[in-house]
Amino acid sequence: MIIDTSQVQDINSFSRLEFLKEVYGILWVLVPILTTVLGITIGVLVIVWLEREISAGIQQRIGPEYAGPLGVLQALADGTKLLFKENLLPSRGDTRLFSIGPSIAVISILLSYSVIPFGYRLVLADLHIGVFLWIAISSVAPIGLLMSGYGSNNKYSFLGGLRAAAQSISYEIPLTLCVLSISLLSNSSSTVDIVEAQSKYGFWGWNLWRQPIGFVIFLISSLAECERLPFDLPEAEEELVAGYQTEYSGIKFGLFYVASYLNLLVSSLFVTVLYLGGWDISIPYIFGYELFEINKAYEVFGMTISIFITLAKTYLFLFISIATRWTLPRLRIDQLLNLGWKFLLPISLGNLLLTTSFQLFSL
């Protein structure tokens, strides 16, 4: 049997070409994911620096100034230090739960970024249940905190984990009812559809004006979800040493702070998407059509503008959250639960009923 060497070479080159196409396809899928993760990491570093600078300004003291220009590298230096510190394990604790807890808290929050539209046509997954997927995924994070508190075999850590679970349950329900009201107004649960529904009417079409009660409830509930002052009961230093973080050290201790700032950033992004029009900044009869034409003519420039607008709105809410932390005192646990169950839940339910009534009458 005679084998034609040219045919063998053609087959080998074809197989190499197919292999390169598969590698290229895998890389093309990973590029947007890695870009998003890199952007989120930079965003968290910026939030840490902003919090230190804003708190220093509020307390009339000097903030970070030595690590990099204006102290911008201080958060990176702290993370590097935690990375090389020794990881200690409690001798009588459950080491598996102790180790898995911080990872669950971080991964569950990172998955929420997949449904956030960062700009015009910039979203990893435009799902029909986008906002409810975020609520479902964010409900997993307190399980990681509860596992951490239980695995530490420490009564202060366990109490901190229980408080985190109770706080999450108390404020998830008003948060979900506010999101449901927005979905009814927009006739969709997709984050992209919600932004586009607001952009039809320009600045006055933002849900901030159509749902002011829901906006206030969402604001309070999101702060409680992020365990930010005045709602940081799970890690109250005066009562629980540091709550579920008490027995942790090294990078595992740092993961809790990463999860906290990731949660704060994702909450700010959802406030922007649900109530502040997302990437839209069009003012009726003035800039609306011009911005639309820019998006059509210069797509890259339009995407850059939309990302900038989204981040500007997000960091405005972040400033409010940071200023609130360094202004208001901490609530007691009974006050926190009463606020969630006796005030926010009935008001959010009434807001949902009003929204449903208006939608039915408008049909």
Contact 235/243 with Cβ under 8 angstroms? yes
Q: What is the pLDDT of residue 344?
A: 93
3-state secondary structure of 119: strand
Q: What is the pLDDT of residue 137?
A: 87
DSSP string of 330-363, one letter each residue: PPPHHHHHHIIIIIIHHHHHHHHHHHHHHHHHH-
Contact 310/118 with Cβ under 8 angstroms? yes
Contact 274/207 with Cβ under 8 angstroms? yes
Give the single-character DSSP code of 65: -
CA atoms of 157 and 148, how far apart (whole Å): 8
Q: What is the pLDDT of residue 285?
A: 42
User: At which residue do the structure tokens 């797509």 appear?
Assistant: 299
Comparing 3-7, 204-208, 292-296, the range with the smallest average pLDDT is 292-296
b/e per residue 292-314 (b: at least 16 CB within 10 A):
eebbeeeeeebbebbbebbbebb
Q: What is the pLDDT of residue 200?
A: 81
Q: Which sequence spans correspond to the domains of the chain? A: 1-83, 87-360
Its pTM surpasses 0.75: yes
- CA-nearest of 149, 136, 132, 323 to 235 is 149
Place 346 in a pLDDT band, splitting at 50, 70 and 90: very high
Whether the predicted pLDDT of 319 surpasses 80: yes
Whether the predicted pLDDT of 98 surpasses 60: yes
- Of all residues in the chain, the percent with pLDDT exceeding 70 is 86
Q: Report the DSSP beta bridge partners of residue 358.
A: none
Contact 31/253 with Cβ under 8 angstroms? no
Place 292 in a pLDDT band, splitting at 50, 70 and 90: very low
Mean pLDDT, residues 329-336 taken together: 85
Mean pLDDT, residues 202-214 taken together: 88
CA atoms of 303 and 191, how far apart (whole Å): 17
Q: What is the pLDDT of residue 16?
A: 62
Contact 352/180 with Cβ under 8 angstroms? yes
Whether the predicted pLDDT of 133 surpasses 70: yes
Burial class (CB in 10 A: 0-12, 13-18, 19+), 9: exposed
Mean pLDDT, residues 12-32 taken together: 66
Place 269 in a pLDDT band, splitting at 50, 70 and 90: very high
- CA-nearest of 244, 254, 257, 228 to 325 is 228
CA atoms of 172 and 159, how far apart (whole Å): 20
Mean pLDDT, residues 281-304 taken together: 55
Place 1 in a pLDDT band, splitting at 50, 70 and 90: very low
**Helix runs in 84-211, H state only:** 95-112, 130-138, 141-151, 155-186, 191-199, 207-210
Whether the predicted pLDDT of 238 surpasses 70: no
CA atoms of 260 and 226, how far apart (whole Å): 6
Comparing 270-274, 300-304, 348-352, the range with the smallest average pLDDT is 300-304
Structure-token pair, residue 344: 């926010």
Whether the predicted pLDDT of 284 surpasses 60: no
Report the residue count for the chain.
363
Whether the predicted pLDDT of 222 surpasses 70: yes
Place 5 in a pLDDT band, splitting at 50, 70 and 90: low
Burial class (CB in 10 A: 0-12, 13-18, 19+), 274: buried
Mean pLDDT, residues 211-217 taken together: 93
The helix (H) or strand (E) run that includes residue 30 is helix 5-58
Whether the predicted pLDDT of 259 surpasses 50: yes
Q: What is the pLDDT of residue 179?
A: 93
Q: What is the pLDDT of residue 287?
A: 45
Structure-token pair, residue 315: 């960091």
Q: What is the pLDDT of residue 19?
A: 60
**Helix runs in 298-331, H state only:** 299-325
- Please, what is the average pLDDT of the chain? 82
Mean pLDDT, residues 115-122 taken together: 83
Distant-in-sequence, close-in-space partners of 300: CB < 8 Å, separation ≥ 6: none
